[in-house]
Amino acid sequence: MQSSDRNGAEQDQPVLDKDPRPVNAGKRPVKELEAALGLLKKHDDTSRFVGLALLKPVLEQELSQLDDKDGGESAEIIQRVWGTIPAKFLDRLLKARSREGRSRDEAENMVGVAVAVLQAFMGLLESPQTDEKFIGRVPVLMSILHSTSPKMRDQIMQIIHCLAMTLEGRSAIFETGPPASNLDQPPLSYMLLTIIHADIMATVPYLQESLHSDDYDTTSSRLVKGYDVISSFIGYLITSMDANDGGDDLSIPMPPDLLLKVQGKITDILNATIEHLRERYDASAPSTRGAISGGPSTAAEASGTMLDDPLTLSQIQTLSLWLANEDNESLRKAAAGIMDVLKTIYQPIEAGHFLATKQFQARCCVLEALSGITQTIEGVEAFLDQDWWITLTEDLKELVGAPSSAGNQEVRGITILNILVIVLHSGATPPPKGQWISGMLKISNELMKSADLQHRWELAVGTCDLVVSLLQRATMDNRHKNQGRATHLLKTVQHLLKNETSLKDEVNRQVREDLENVARDLEALRDNRITEESS
């Protein structure tokens, strides 16, 4: 290990204490933190390493007491300690290798202490994801990922997983080039994704067999981090592509040939994921377990059973991102085979339930997945077979009754409308059912009369457009049955065009034009019906 940052001279080999003195459990280790701080302030690496070795068990104790509200004093010192540790010193530890005067075990211990301390600080500091000292360690952490022990690899993955949740972290992870020692190697980001691919492909196909084993939680937690890093990569790739199309200076994260290989690896992972979700659902579905072994007896319970496992949400998030943004017809067809699984996950859970937040996130992901799956004939057929139209219409009805201040709800409503439009215009969809038309007419009429309509124009116009499309494709019988509600909607739109002052503003010119088109189409449908009846 090299010496201080000032002169880089070699120091005596530090004494590697693998078992630093224990910290008294249950007490805030302020004295130990102060002692470590004093050693870390010195300018020789030997003292710094001893300070770091003393610090490791202290930080681990602090992590175990995060829920304790009496940690203010130690929290302040922890922040000071973190600020004292030189970044270059951490890099020297992370790059430690066996050489003359240093055994392999000693080198591994240096790396292990540095990784463990970084992981602990990641859990203790506020907003570590944007801390430059963490972000700056990404290249060296990724360079040692493939050569460390499984335990240390998991610790590094936890750090990378946390950093991947921010744009700064994603940039550092996915723009990292090849190791400086060998520029002919692939970028480290490619190596990271390759490691994750190997882990998931070796584990997920056999995961159901170990669902009730003692080590399942550990395995599941590791896989969650892998899926989340892949989701972050997909998000970063989408951002890079959009920026590249727009002429912005944001490079694609790796060469085209490697990018194609990564796309293939992600597809492999998601095909295995679809099979796992199918197997997981079949093992817990009401039809197969409820009457036999006391398993879930309703779809909502089955949904809760799957969402109780954090892995399910991570899998759905990754799958939905790729289905919506990657034009992969084969994968979308495969995903059509789990439409019943997705519908079960989409089922509402009672408000106040401990899984309610997760379930809302899952519903948004399922909608994103549907927007991709319904691009295929097989997806539309599965959508219709599972009666998704009624499910989404009911959800839209509930959403329309919610206050417009719920911004996420409005976005979800637009997403639902877009999916319904895709399905309606598909060649696999027969003339719309009367229930589809009456349901959407009811929603449109309610929305157009809502007090906060001025804040919901996009959703309102979208529902009206869908009503027109439904009526245009409906049978004569269904048009006739719904003519009363359609006439009421036409009168409401005409009244708004005449009296709504906000529609006269330039900012709402497009809304006005869209509503004029709706009124014109509804009038044409009405006049056409009158002509047909008179003839």
Residue 127, pLDDT score: 85
Q: SS in 3 state form for 204-222? A: HHHCHHHCCCCCHHHHHHH
One domain, residues 490 and 454: yes
> Residue 476's closest CA among 420, 422, 421, 530?
530
Please give the Cα distance from 523 to 521 (Å, whole number). Answer: 5
From CA 240, how far away is CA 234, in angstroms rounded? 10
Residue 329 has pLDDT above 90, yes or no: yes
pLDDT at 288: 47
pLDDT tens digits, residue range 107-151? 899 999 999 999 999 989 888 888 999 999 999 999 898 888 888
Higher pLDDT, 87 or 290: 87
CA–CA gap between residue 160 and residue 430 (Å, rounded): 48
Do residues 325 and 270 touch, judged by C-beta distance below 8 A? no
123 class by beta-carbon count within 10 Å (0-12 exposed, 13-18 middle, 19+ buried):
middle
Which has the closest alpha carbon to 269: 194, 361, 163? Answer: 194
| 374: phi then psi, degrees, rounded to nearest 5 | -75, 0
How high is the pLDDT of residue 283?
A: 87
Do 145 and 184 contact (CB within 8 A), yes or no?
Answer: no
| Structural domain that includes position 18 | 1-124
Report DSSP letters for 276-342, one per residue: HHHHHHHHH-IIIIITTTS---SHHHHHHHHHTSHHHHHHHHHHHHHHHHS--HHHHHHHHTTHHHH
Q: What is the pLDDT of residue 490?
A: 96
- Residue range 191-195: mean pLDDT, rounded: 93
- Decide if 111 is inside a domain: yes
Question: How far is 46 from 55, CA to CA, in rounded Å?
Answer: 14
Query: Does 425 lie in the same domain as 533?
Result: yes
Residue 67 has pLDDT above 60, yes or no: no
Q: Which amino acid is at 529?
A: R
Task: Examine the fold and report which residue of 221, 254, 287 is the final residue of a domain before the chain moves on.
Answer: 254
pLDDT at site 16 = 43
Spatial contact of 511 and 457, defined as CB atoms under 8 Å apart: yes
Residue 24 has pLDDT above 60, yes or no: no
Residues 180 and 71 in one domain: no
Q: Is residue 326 part of a domain?
A: no
Residue of 471 and 30 predicted with greater confidence: 471
Distance CA 208, CA 514 (A): 51
Mean pLDDT of the chain: 85
Q: Model pTM?
A: 0.83
Q: Judge if 407 and 529 occupy the same domain.
A: yes
CA pair distance 311, 299, nearest whole angstrom: 19
Residue 265, Cβ neighbours under 10 Å: how many?
A: 19
Q: Taking residues 176-181, report their average pLDDT.
A: 65
Q: For the chain, how many structural domains are there in total?
A: 3
Regarding whether 507 and 414 lie in a shared domain, the answer is yes
Beta carbons within 10 angstroms of residue 39's beta carbon: 19
Q: Domain end: 203, 233, 254, which one?
A: 254
Determine, yes or no, domain membership for 351. no
The tokens for 91 are: 């890099």
Distance of alpha carbon 322 from alpha carbon 369, whole angstroms: 8
Question: Do 90 and 158 fall within a single domain?
Answer: no
Q: Which of 74, 97, 124 is the last residue of a domain?
A: 124
Model confidence over 394-426: pLDDT tens digits?
Answer: 999 988 887 765 557 788 999 999 999 999 999
pLDDT of residue 22: 42
Closest CA to 270 of 340, 211, 319, 200: 319
- At a CB cut-off of 8 Å and minimum separation 6, what does 246 contact? none
Task: Indicate whether 13 pLDDT > 50.
Answer: no
